[in-house]
Structure 1
Amino acid sequence: MKKILLILITIFTIGSFAQKKQTILISSKYDFQEKKNSHNINNMLKAILTSNNYQVYFEDEILPIEIAQNRCNALTGVLVDDSNVFVTKVKLQIKDCKNNILFETADVKSREKESQAAFIEVIKLLSPELKKYKPVVIQKKEVTESPSEIITNTNVKYQFVEIANGYAVMDATPKVILQIYKTTNPNIFIADKFGVKGVFTKLVNRGVFEYYLNDKLVVEEFLF
């Protein structure tokens, strides 16, 4: 009964993803910034995009599993600074996962001499510019068939032990039950379970191991 409930929840979650807001990933530090969120630019940009009905995440935070596993399920917002000594001038580019520019705002400008005040002004000016963009919402195809099996390992808490190029996932015995290896994405790992290979996605306080067994997808969840 528990497995059936989990499958139904999964189908509902995946099927309803198409209803979600457009997702945009932004940086917490763009090339022209000396440190993260300098002048509060990045937090303000997130707030402006959110107020324009977008789902917004910083690229270096833990992402939803559908975005972490496939960046093409989200767009990217790139802030371009063309300022000079006389004027603060920026524009926002919205790109797809292949780095194609789908939309670019006009340059927004401020002649405020104090940097903080100038950036506050130009970021605010991006809001009406964003309303000119009419995105085609990235949709995820509805799932009509559930995965063959969803296994939730709730009977024990697991822990990470660092090994070469990754981690060993250990139970309370302690016994190694899975080995995961780093990729270029800090939340995505190549996983090996005694010869069964798949993908491991690290989320907040849990991990998801996905692999194929006899041509059927198996999803295992580990709580930490």
Structure 2
Amino acid sequence: MKKKLTVLILFLSIGFTAIAQKEINNYKYVIVPLKYDFLNEKDQYRLNTLTRHLFKQKGFVTFFDEEQFPEELNKDRCKALFANVENAKGGLFATKVDITLKDCFGKEVFRTETGSSRKKDFKEAYVEAVREAFSSIEVMDYEYQPSEEKNEKDDDVIESAVDIVEVEAKESEVKPSTESVDIESKDTTLYAQEKPYGYQVVDATPKVVMQLLNTSAQNVFLVKDKNAIVYKEDDFWYYSENNGELKEPKTLDIKF
């Protein structure tokens, strides 16, 4: 019985890995943060540089999140996966880490097997643990294959994210408007008001022009009821919409 269970688990593991690999192959870029949350400094122990190096060796076009991106990636961050290294549970007598890959909406696409090390020196331990965790990606037969269905899949992700967000209906002096965001005017200053689901954005009237839904990605928001995101880059906020055809991102003047 135990042998059958082991075989079943192995079969399911191989199946899930194959599905994840097919999805990962749709991405050309990987963005690595210059600082991990569990460490105190940027590129501490050179772990961020190591992570970027490993993904480059695997064939991905890889950047730090503070680097200058190519034009196509600036226009559409959804062409990239966002890598992260996290401390794993059970590290009392060992250093343990996982490597995760998420899409631009914060959906986890892949999580490696936990890498571990019992070395006492922190730098050596983290380097060894990261390399061991990356072996889950190393065994994949990665080859970039652009997906023609990616736009449709991204629309589904947006709709699903909007559906699961429960926004409490409260009376307010600020009345919602059905008008679209005036993103063409550079003189329009918008103001973000914090809400449980994220932010509501109003103009000087005040009038609600859109609602921003939180994601797990830093400075990236879904726009409620639209196939669009609002994101921050180089201290500027941008509005990017995709209704089957990706439009040029528009600069927004939002005060948070």
TM-score after normalising by structure 2: 0.47
How do 1:39-78 residues align onto structure 2 when only pairs under 5 Å count?
Answer: 39-78=45-84
Amino acid at match of 2:234: P
Matched, 1:35 2:41: yes
User: Percent identity between the aligned chains?
Assistant: 21
Matched, 1:90 2:138: no
Describe the shift of the 1:140–1:97 C-alpha distance in structure 2 as closer, same or farther (beyond 3 A).
same
Task: Determine the structure 1 residue equivalent to 2:135.
Answer: 128
Amino acid at match of 1:37: D
If asked which structure has higher relative contact order (CA below 8 Å, sep 6+), I would say 1
Question: Structure 1 stretches (4+) deviating beyond 3 angstroms?
Answer: 132-138, 187-190, 198-201
Task: Determine the structure 2 residue equivalent to 1:161.
Answer: none
CA contact 1:80–1:92 (8 Å) conserved in 2: yes
Amino acid at match of 1:82: A
CA contact 2:27–2:146 (8 Å) conserved in 1: no
Q: Aligned with 1:40: secondary structure? A: helix
CA contact 1:32–1:81 (8 Å) conserved in 2: yes
Deviation at 1:89?
0.4
Q: Aligned with 2:233: secondary structure? A: coil
Task: Determine the structure 2 residue equivalent to 1:213.
Answer: none
Amino acid at match of 1:87: A
Deviation digits for residues 110-165 of structure 1, max 9, x if unmatched?
00011011012112213321134466846387xxxxxxxxxxxxxxxxxxxxxxx9
Amino acid at match of 2:121: E
Deviation at 1:68?
1.5
| Structure 1 unaligned blocks of 5 or more | 1-19, 142-164, 166-182, 191-197, 202-224
CA contact 1:62–1:187 (8 Å) conserved in 2: no
Matched, 1:26 2:32: yes
Describe the shift of the 1:39–1:121 C-alpha distance in structure 2 as closer, same or farther (beyond 3 A).
same
Q: Distance in 1 between matches of 2:232 and 2:27?
A: 27
CA contact 2:59–2:143 (8 Å) conserved in 1: no
> Which of 61-70 and 82-91 deviates more?
82-91
Which of 229, 232, 236 is the equivalent residue of 1:184?
232
Q: Distance in 1 between matches of 2:78 and 2:141?
A: 18
The structure carrying a bigger helix percent of its residues is 2
RMSD: 3.3
Task: Determine the structure 1 residue equivalent to 2:228.
Answer: none
TM-score after normalising by structure 1: 0.53
Task: Determine the structure 2 residue equivalent to 1:152.
Answer: none
How do 1:1-224 residues align onto structure 2 when only pairs under 5 Å count?
Answer: 22-82=28-88, 84-133=91-140, 137=144, 139=146, 184-186=232-234
Amino acid at match of 1:184: K
Task: Determine the structure 2 residue equivalent to 1:15.
Answer: none
CA contact 2:29–2:80 (8 Å) conserved in 1: yes
CA contact 2:100–2:111 (8 Å) conserved in 1: yes
Q: Aligned with 1:184: secondary structure? A: strand
